[in-house]
Structure 1
């Protein structure tokens, strides 16, 4: 059985990592979703697979060697080289998304931020730290993975990442313990020119 408890120590640890970059994986021991990478694609985030990215030919060999999705700024941005960057947001319905390159436009009702670190306690494992989400008013929270079939995938289902917002109404989803961060530190280079 899992339980989440906030600790000031964990919150301070996340706060000191502002300049750090990191990758994320799903955390749910005993589940096939445990350890799957969180990847950007189609302006959403999914578990497993590869990230969707683009680099203009004019950048040439200076394009980052993209193999994973790299996050920055306490999970409010993607680690990209494109001018203006790309913000991470939570839509009103809970879907995690990111802005297009060269645009700071987010959907109406979307929230930037709200991600917090918590310690997960379990009868079967030593406690571990994960990132989860809490609504600005504190009424809802959590991270879930919802199976969906995106347009153009020939019926292939993926698990998209959602935050449990007040307007969240997805069904048949898997509640994750949270998202596990692997910090890369400063100087790791950009994750991509831009994610698409």
Structure 2
């Protein structure tokens, strides 16, 4: 008798992980459209056949890149929720994470906004992957606002997302320290609108 509960999921092939890791770095630092498949193949030290075995097209690799970035943020929330019971502290931790990202050396802006800017057709699969992420992110922030008892959770989530986008854009093209400080101030203003516990 076969125990279905013990069925195993095979981990991704090492070559597939190397391709994605290489693309993750190059797409983010140099731009999705400027990096060709041959450059990724060379950087990952795989053959062209191996690349196309795992990713039938560059677009599929780009989608995997966007989905990988999405998973990182979902993992952050999952970890924060395990450690912290207060939604205010989760939002503060998120703000610290965003601010840290915006002020780190080599920061090139929000990977989702960057990807969306390079795929103008809203029906393109890459653009749809960005939309899935942003919709989830917006819903998750609104849920945090609701959990903390904010009187206008949807508006507060919109304010926070706009501040987040501005901090990431300002962190790349402007004064990253000022952008980080502004994001923290806005976060505290939003939190002050919710009743204290």
TM-score for the superposition, normalised by structure 1: 0.21
**More RCO (CA 8 Å, sep 6+):** 1
Of Structure 1 and Structure 2, which has the larger fraction of its residues in strand?
1
Of Structure 1 and Structure 2, which has the larger fraction of its residues in helix?
2
